[in-house]
């Protein structure tokens, strides 16, 4: 793949997933920060990269731009197959995508900052709402990990057996988010085991928000 | 594929997507209604089928159950490849998935009934919220259809060129939802053209909510 340009925000969990995948697959790219606090995502230039006006966006050498972290990860898998982020077995691929969508469609959208601001100007209201959906989603993720183990799909330590998959790339940023909203993640032991296994893989730490330019632990 | 069992609710848009795909691919299945109004989705039996306690769920002959409409459609595509619901070209597959996720992650979750009830007991508040996210998402979908045409990906009439894809299976139920929330969908001409093309394909009408047992136009 020719060198591409990755538009992200250091703390965005969807950006984190793609940043991590680009590193794992060794895709050469330039990085451009989009300052969500300053509203840079709403400029016409960025809307052309992602019509929803969000991050991330991946701009190819020929100028085409792809958004939606699920679409980017699946596209990377098809165009840069190794190292694989989806299992070979169709059923395990299906389980991977089920885990991915629990985070992508049922947790992250319910707690992104633009949605929370629309919900209420009161921070405690925002926090309670975000915590609820993190607890709901991580609880479902935990239950599904139990089902996967019971059906012989591997008993961890990763989300799917003994290898890092796309599911882990969605899980780790979400657990980080859940902690920010003061969710008691100790209730989810399989989730925490998968998070720990994923964080011990190469590229995991470099992809974290606090290790990006402009990132901090604030 | 051995005969499976499809758990759905007649008006659920996520159920509709999968119901349609099962018909297109000719997968033999029994249908079981899950009455969301009566709370049947929250029973332990249904939670075992879908740990988020939602519809749809597809239960295989051996008892394994898959949830999340995106995961089910991708799994059907891999196990029953014809007729295809994803293009062959990797870039067009990426565009298909980008369109799918605009609906799946940025519109539908923001307007499902459990979320709207948590938001407010007041129906006008619920309707305004749901309309906002339908307008935002369908506006992005419309813009992306324009980009796809401009980059040579086909100028309709479907979401991706001249063939029905998974994107259309997500779009049609969402346009139905947008109309229910009184969104002026005439602002989205490419969306309406894709909807019309998709509705003219075999199985489209049979999959619609009003044609399910228990369904009505109420």
Q: Point out the domain boundary residue: B50, B83, B116.
A: B83
Tell whether A137 and A178 lie within a shared domain. Answer: yes
Q: How far is A52 from chain B (nearest CA, A)?
A: 5
Report percent pLDDT > 90 for chain B.
91
On average, the pLDDT of chain A sits at 95
Determine which of A74, A92, A103 to mutate to test the interface with B (most B C-beta atoms within 10 Å): A74
pLDDT of residue B155: 79
Tell whether A101 and A76 lie within a shared domain. Answer: no
CB-CB neighbors (< 8 A) of A78 in chain B: 90, 93-94
Tell whether A98 and A139 lie within a shared domain. Answer: yes
Q: B123-150 and B90-106 helices cross at what angle (nearest 10)?
A: 170
A177 in any annotated domain: yes
pLDDT of residue A218: 41
B210 in any annotated domain: no
Tens digits of residue pLDDT in A19-58: 999 999 999 999 999 998 889 999 999 999 999 999 999 9
Nearest CA in chain A to B96: A71
A207 in any annotated domain: no
**What domain range is B41 assigned to?**
4-83
The whole-angstrom separation of Cα B49 and Cα B39 is 15
Residue B215 predicted with pLDDT over 80: no
* Nearest-CB residue to A102 (from B52, B101, B151): B52
Residue A14 predicted with pLDDT over 50: yes
Tell whether B150 and B133 lie within a shared domain. Answer: yes
Record: contact A75-B64, CB cut-off 8 A: no
Stretch A97-115: mean pLDDT: 96
Record: contact B94-A109, CB cut-off 8 A: no
Please give the model's pTM, rounded to 2 decimal places: 0.97
Tens digits of residue pLDDT in A205-218: 999 999 998 776 54
Residue B152 predicted with pLDDT over 90: no
**Domain of B39: which CATH number?**
3.40.30.10
pLDDT of residue B214: 73
**Domain of A122: which CATH number?**
1.20.1050.10
In this structure, what DSSP letter does residue B160 have? B
C-alpha atoms less than 13 angstroms from C-alpha of B118 in its C-beta half-sphere: 17
Total number of domains in chain B: 2
Q: Which residues contact A205 (CB under 8 A, 6 or more apart)?
A: A199, A211
The whole-angstrom separation of Cα A66 and Cα A80 is 15
Q: Point out the domain boundary residue: A83, A115, A133.
A: A83
Residue A153 predicted with pLDDT over 80: no
Count of A-B CB contacts under 8 Å:
119
CB-CB neighbors (< 8 A) of A150 in chain B: none
A158 in any annotated domain: yes
Tell whether B63 and B14 lie within a shared domain. Answer: yes
pLDDT of residue B37: 86
Record: contact B97-A74, CB cut-off 8 A: yes
Tell whether B34 and B57 lie within a shared domain. Answer: yes
Tell whether A59 and A145 lie within a shared domain. Answer: no
CB-CB neighbors (< 8 A) of A120 in chain B: none
* Nearest-CB residue to B78 (from A93, A109, A141): A93
CB-CB neighbors (< 8 A) of A141 in chain B: 51
Tell whether B72 and B112 lie within a shared domain. Answer: no
* Nearest-CB residue to B105 (from A90, A105, A151): A105
Tell whether A94 and A189 lie within a shared domain. Answer: yes
pLDDT of residue A69: 98
CB-CB neighbors (< 8 A) of A117 in chain B: none
Give the H or E element holding residue B31: strand B29-33
Record: contact A75-B94, CB cut-off 8 A: yes
B141 in any annotated domain: yes
pLDDT of residue A155: 79
B213 in any annotated domain: no
CB-CB neighbors (< 8 A) of B1 in chain A: none
On average, the pLDDT of chain B sits at 95
Stretch A150-165: mean pLDDT: 90
Q: Point out the domain boundary residue: B50, B68, B83.
A: B83
Q: How far is B218 from chain A (nearest CA, A)?
A: 27
Tens digits of residue pLDDT in A160-176: 999 999 999 999 999 99
A212 in any annotated domain: no
Record: contact B71-A119, CB cut-off 8 A: no
pLDDT of residue B218: 41
Tens digits of residue pLDDT in B3-29: 999 999 999 999 999 999 999 999 999
CB-CB neighbors (< 8 A) of B48 in chain A: 147
Tell whether B68 and B103 lie within a shared domain. Answer: no
Q: Which phi and psi (to 5°) does residue A63 adopt?
A: 100, -15
Residue B216 predicted with pLDDT over 70: no
pLDDT of residue A197: 98
- Structure-token match 């990755």, residue found: A6
B205 in any annotated domain: no
Closest by Cα among B45, B52, B47 to B14: B52
Stretch B204-217: mean pLDDT: 85
Tell whether B100 and B167 lie within a shared domain. Answer: yes
Stretch B193-207: mean pLDDT: 97
Tell whether B94 and B190 lie within a shared domain. Answer: yes
pLDDT of residue A142: 98
- CA angle (A134 as vertex; A128, A137 as ends), nearest 5: 140
Tens digits of residue pLDDT in A128-142: 999 999 999 999 999
């Amino acid at each position: 793949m020719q060198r591409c340009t990755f538009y992200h925000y250091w703390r965005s969990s969807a950006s984190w997933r793609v940043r991590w995948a680009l590193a794992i697959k060794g895709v050469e790219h330039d990085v451009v920060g989009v300052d969500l606090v300053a509203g840079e995502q709403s400029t016409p230039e960025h809307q052309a990269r992602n019509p929803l006006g969000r991050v991330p966006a991946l701009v190819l050498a020929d100028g085409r731009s792809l958004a939606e972290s699920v679409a980017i990860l699946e596209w990377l898998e098809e165009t840069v197959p190794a190292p694989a982020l989806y299992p070979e077995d169709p059923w395990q691929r299906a389980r991977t995508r089920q885990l991915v969508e629990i985070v992508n469609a049922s947790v992250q959208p319910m707690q992104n900052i633009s949605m929370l601001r629309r919900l209420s100007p009161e921070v405690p209201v925002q926090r309670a709402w975000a915590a609820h959906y993190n607890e709901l989603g991580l609880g479902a993720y935990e239950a599904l990990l139990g089902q996967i183990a019971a059906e012989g799909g591997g008993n961890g330590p990763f989300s799917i057996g003994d290898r890092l998959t796309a599911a882990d790339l969605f899980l780790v940023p979400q657990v980080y988010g859940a902690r920010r909203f003061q969710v008691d993640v100790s209730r989810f032991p399989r989730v925490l085991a998968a998070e720990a296994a994923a964080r011990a893989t190469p590229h995991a730490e470099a992809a974290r928000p606090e290790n990006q330019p402009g990132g901090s632990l604030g």
